[in-house]
Amino acid sequence: MITFFAALALLILGYVFYSKFIEKVFGVDDQTPTPAYAQGDNVDFVPMSWWKGNLIQLLNIAGLGPIYGAVAGALYGPVAFIWIVVGCIFAGAVHDYFSGMMSMRHGGAQFPSLVGRYLGKHAKAFINGISLVLMLLVAAAFTAGPAQLIAQITPVSFMVALVLIFGYFIVATILPINQLIGRIYPLLGAILLFMAIAVAVALVFSGKPMPNLTFSNLHPGDLPIWPLLMVTISCGAISGFHCTQSPIIARTMKKETDGRKIFYGAMVIEGVIALIWAAAGMTFFSGTDGLGAALAAGGPSGVVNEISITLLGTMGGILAIFGVIILPITTGDTALRSSRMILGELVSKFYKTDGKLKILLITIPLAIPTFFMATIDYTFLWRYVGWTNQVVATFMLWTATMYLLKNYKFHWISGVPAVFMTGVVSMYIFYAPEGLNMEYHIAAIIGSVITLAVVLWYAAQIIRHRPSKEVDSEYEAV
């Protein structure tokens, strides 16, 4: 229990202190009009309060990610606590802050546009493709799961449930953000947080011993921590999906100082949720062996349902069903909204996307393939979300690093986690079963060579963008 509360305290301290350092490095200015005012269109560019932005951002980036991913990541043992805390404070929250604030500074630009501006047109072309694939995969995966559960507990068939969910998706995608998302999602975000806190309180008073971090139990089992843990627990530590969602809220910010509370704050809250569910998975089933058996028998949804109902009773059952159905849907619809915004930027030179009818015409070509992918098995889809997701996160960190380098700011805050994540994704694609499925040591060698090449490129960029004597003092002061 000491480890759990220590990790929780570190996450809170990370927000209180490190987020302020990140904000100082970025440099905020509340005198500059935000895109919500400068480009207001009553659809995407609509001013909203920071607390609404925070809760909507939390719901958009979370869904079931910090629950399912944390439960699966708990199989690695208490080392999962380390990754959630360190990953969240120094990588994920930095990633989310810069993705939101850079979008805001560039008129609400989508992530691929930021990549193109700071990493070049070839990187932008690659990211445009992989971001759209990620959005469609997430939307499909987060539709298939709820539709399957609806079909199991109601007379409604899977296909009818799928049609109903996609009907909602299209409506939520084309409506102004303040009409549906702005009114309902803050409440749903609060419910997500309440659900996690209720589980945490019940777990503390359950009498079950929480695992403490020791050298003997750091990582039970045979699963290699590197790089699997960093892909298994993405939501709650660092997730590339978040940088595709941040521009949605960046277009609604009233002032720049709200960014720390919205973007860094929402990521830390997600880290807290992941920490709670990782602890619940290890504690409730008396260790990783019991958790592994429960996951094999009922999957993540079965584990979440059992924990919720046992610890919280009837209310827990209601919350579990609510969470497994509603939360993925609310992430899926914003994934489709983001893909609509990305595609809108791509075709903006040839096709103006103003007006609901034109927005609908942009949305339909995205919704159709997503609908058909949703008929594929959920677990199969989710396997391909993982690596794609972390590749996007890596590119966002490098984009932030180049932004800081070009502006003579303290680039290490994003550069170091960028190198780390480069190592993760470079090895994972060669080692993982859904990748090339190579031997561990061969994949490690190839991944190391790729990472070294990227580090050398980074070193060259540092030399190229070395600050002149005029800005040396300011650079060193930060």
| Cβ atoms 330, 146 nearer than 8 A | no
Distance CA 59, CA 80 (A): 22
Q: Which residues are within 8 A (CB) of 463 and not within 5 positions of it... i.e. 6 or more apart?
A: none
Residue 265 domain flag: yes
Asked if residue 340 is part of any domain, the answer here is yes
Q: How many CB atoms within 10 Å of residue 103?
A: 26
Is residue 251 included in any domain, yes or no? Answer: yes
Torsion angle (degrees, nearest 10) of CA 271, 273, 275, 277: -150
Long-range contacts of the stretch 169-172 (C-beta < 8 A, 24+)? 169/139, 169/143, 169/329, 169/332, 169/333, 169/336, 169/367, 170/336, 170/360, 170/363, 170/364, 170/367, 172/333, 172/334, 172/336, 172/337
- 404 found inside a domain: no
Q: What per-residue confidence (pLDDT) applies to 11?
A: 98
CB atoms within 10 A of CB 473: 9
Residue 295 lies in a domain: yes
Residue 403 CB-half CA count within 13 A: 24
Closest CA to 28 of 269, 209, 193, 264: 264
Tell me, yes or no, whether 375 lies in a domain: yes
d(CA 345, CA 326): 29
Rounded to two decimals, what is the model's pTM?
0.89
CATH code for the domain of 364:
1.20.1740.10
- The CA-atom distances, in angstroms, between 291 and each of 78, 133, 315, 320, 349 are 13, 32, 23, 18, 52
Amino acid making up residue 405: L
Residue in 257, 263, 259, 268 with CA at minimum distance from that of residue 89? 268
| Confidence (pLDDT) at 134 | 85
- Grouped pLDDT means (10 residues each) for the chain, 478 residues: 92 98 97 94 90 91 82 90 97 98 95 94 90 82 77 85 86 79 84 85 87 64 86 92 92 97 97 94 89 86 84 78 76 80 72 60 76 73 81 97 96 98 96 90 97 98 80 50
Q: How many domains does the chain have?
A: 1
CA distances from 239 to 66, 84, 235 (A): 10, 12, 5
Assigned domain for 128 exists: yes
Cα–Cα distances (Å) from 394 to 133, 159, 202, 329, 398, in that order, read 16, 36, 37, 26, 6
- The residue range of the domain holding 373 is 2-397
In a domain, 424, yes or no: no
Burial classification of residue 4, based on how many CB atoms lie within 10 Å of its CB (0-12 exposed, 13-18 middle, 19 or more buried)? buried
Helix 65-73 vs helix 50-62: crossing angle, to nearest 10: 50
